[in-house]
Structure 1
Amino acid sequence: MLTNPRSDRVRAVRALSRRAVRSRQGLFVAEGPQSVREAVSHRPDLVRGVYATPDAVVRHGDLVQAAVSVGLAVHEVSGEVLAAMVETDAPQGLLAVCRVATASLKDVLALRPRLLCVLINVRDPGNAGTVLRGADAAGADAVVISDNSVDVFGPKVVRSTAGSLFHLPVVTGLGIDEIVEQVRAAGLLLLAADGAGELLLGDVDLSGPHAWVMGNEAWGLPGEVRGRCDHVVRVPIHGRAESLNLAMAATICLYASATAQRRPQ
């Protein structure tokens, strides 16, 4: 059992809370039983090691056994050590160190996707993670996150995805122009989600291949991006709410697409 919270290994894991270290080492931390379970179940090839407290080994014995059965190293650590590895105030006794693996937009488009979610200049970790989770639940083929956005492998984003990060391709690091050009060239309709949209969500044909383009939480999509999309669409607000936040609007749009694409023809 690892019991020294100041050991080199503990410091190395804790250092992955910094974006520069994650970028340099190509590693990130998935924290909590839900994230670890999804990593072990769906992308064990990305897992470099699992760390668990004695209590977590007992409570999540099936998860630990699943990790061992696919050849993953499970390290038992004291509660103090696990707390020193993460920034969370109340860690849940389990974490996995994983390899960063982002998809290529070219490869995603080669599979002829029907539904994509594109995030432009999104900065809030909770929003980014929740949108990714919603895209996964709605059956989107991939999520594309532009450069100048939050790091999708940061601890807060990873926690917010609740394991969905390991379920679908995530494309990062591309500029806005490159994303728009590639998606349009692949034949997908580009739909900008914006509160000032000229079309209501219910008035758009969502049955064909398309990509939802979502903007920054505070200032939305840049005008030049809206201008390059085929339609600018707004979610109708029937009550007195001033607006919807990014995660809420994205989930509504993605589920509208999922419903339209699964409706019997």
Structure 2
Amino acid sequence: MIKEIISPSNQNIKHIKSLHKRKYRDKHKEFLIEGLRSVEHGLENNAEFRNICYNDVITSSNRGCKLLEKISQRKIELCKINDKIFKEISTTDSPQGILGVVKRRYYDLEDIISKDKLFLIILDKLQDPGNVGTIIRTADAAGVSCIISLKGTVDIYNSKTIRSTMGSIFSMPIIHIETIGDVIEILKGNGVDIISTTLEAERYHFEVKYGRKNAIIIGNEGNGISNELIKRSDIKVKIPIIGNAESLNASIAAGIIIYEIVRQTHFQKI
């Protein structure tokens, strides 16, 4: 059944507007996704929707009509709203006419690290939503077990980050950690090698033989990895820079190291 909303003071509309702010996303453990592809990915990955709102724009294409049909076949509240209200709740400049409220998934780190083979990414105070979203997408493609987001990292669930993940937000386990100290000890206690990149490293990333359990730390775009985490790392590596650039983009550097580990663990014997 489709619910038609004509008032901007409707409680559903107010709730969606509140999710534009991080404190309410954290409070309600929900986030917004927008656009055909994002909603399709959510449905394909069995995301738990609170509701989905749409306007007439979505019905102008065959793909949009099919998507509405899929939604109507599930137990998801479907709300039709007018263009004016949709523009008020949209997070994009050119809305595609569909937006969903999604409940966050909870992941237990102890369950994840109990596996025989483990590949983790630790985000240390990254600030650029595009970088974080790209890293999530790359990690998903590389079969990473989980991403750990440390305090000080940009909100994983803001609209720019979500769009940059290209749907991987639904399939990549993500855990937010306030304090890393105890987690590092837990990881090490489970045989996980903590890997950090630093210019002070003696070896390049391809000169190291990686084991079956790895956690790569990706540092802040400007300041890199914190000294505390570098000191507590088991493996320190650097990526060669042959030209004049001083450093690499954080998501590019992450991809280079991630896929070196993929190459070693999937395409040659350890």
TM-score normalised to structure 2 length:
0.90
Cα separation, 1, equivalents of 2:264 and 2:213: 11
Match for residue 19 of structure 1? 22
C-alpha contact (below 8 Å) 2:125/2:151 kept by paired residues: yes
User: Cα deviations across residues 156-193 of structure 1 (Å, max 9, x unaligned)?
Assistant: 22122111110121111331212211211111111102
1:82 Cα offset (Å): 1.8
User: Which of the residues 35, 39, 50 maps onto 2:52?
Assistant: 50
Are positions 1:159 and 2:163 aligned together?
A: yes
User: Cα deviations across residues 116-147 of structure 1 (Å, max 9, x unaligned)?
Assistant: 11111222222211111111111111111112
C-alpha contact (below 8 Å) 2:117/2:212 kept by paired residues: no
Match for residue 30 of structure 1? 33
Change (3 A) 1:195 1:245: farther
CA RMSD of the aligned region, Å? Answer: 1.8
Secondary structure of the residue aligned to 1:206 is coil
C-alpha contact (below 8 Å) 1:102/1:172 kept by paired residues: no
Are positions 1:209 and 2:213 aligned together?
A: yes
Cα separation, 2, equivalents of 1:240 and 1:247: 19
User: Which of the residues 70, 85, 104 maps onto 1:100?
Assistant: 104
User: Which of the residues 3, 18, 43 maps onto 1:40?
Assistant: 43
C-alpha contact (below 8 Å) 2:57/2:96 kept by paired residues: no
1:94 Cα offset (Å): 1.6
Secondary structure of the residue aligned to 2:5 is coil
Amino acid at match of 1:173: I
User: Cα deviations across residues 102-122 of structure 1 (Å, max 9, x unaligned)?
Assistant: 322112112344211111122
User: Which of the residues 64, 67, 72 maps onto 1:63?
Assistant: 67
Are positions 1:146 and 2:155 aligned together?
A: no
Amino acid at match of 2:145: D
Are positions 1:187 and 2:191 aligned together?
A: yes
Cα separation, 2, equivalents of 1:202 and 1:195: 15
Change (3 A) 1:112 1:94: farther
Cα separation, 1, equivalents of 2:206 and 2:29: 42
**Identity, % of aligned pairs?**
27
1:81 Cα offset (Å): 1.9
User: Which of the residues 104, 112, 118 maps onto 1:114?
Assistant: 118
Cα separation, 1, equivalents of 2:72 and 2:268: 43
Structure 1 unaligned residues grouped into runs of 5+: none
1:58 Cα offset (Å): 4.2
1:264 Cα offset (Å): 4.2
Amino acid at match of 2:224: G
User: Cα deviations across residues 216-252 of structure 1 (Å, max 9, x unaligned)?
Assistant: 1110111121011111111112333221111111111
Match for residue 89 of structure 1? 93
Amino acid at match of 1:75: C
1:62 Cα offset (Å): 2.9
Aligned residues: 264
Secondary structure of the residue aligned to 1:260 is helix
Match for residue 225 of structure 1? 229
Moved more, 245-254 or 5-14: 5-14
C-alpha contact (below 8 Å) 1:206/1:256 kept by paired residues: no
Amino acid at match of 2:173: P
1:70 Cα offset (Å): 3.0
TM-score normalised to structure 1 length:
0.92
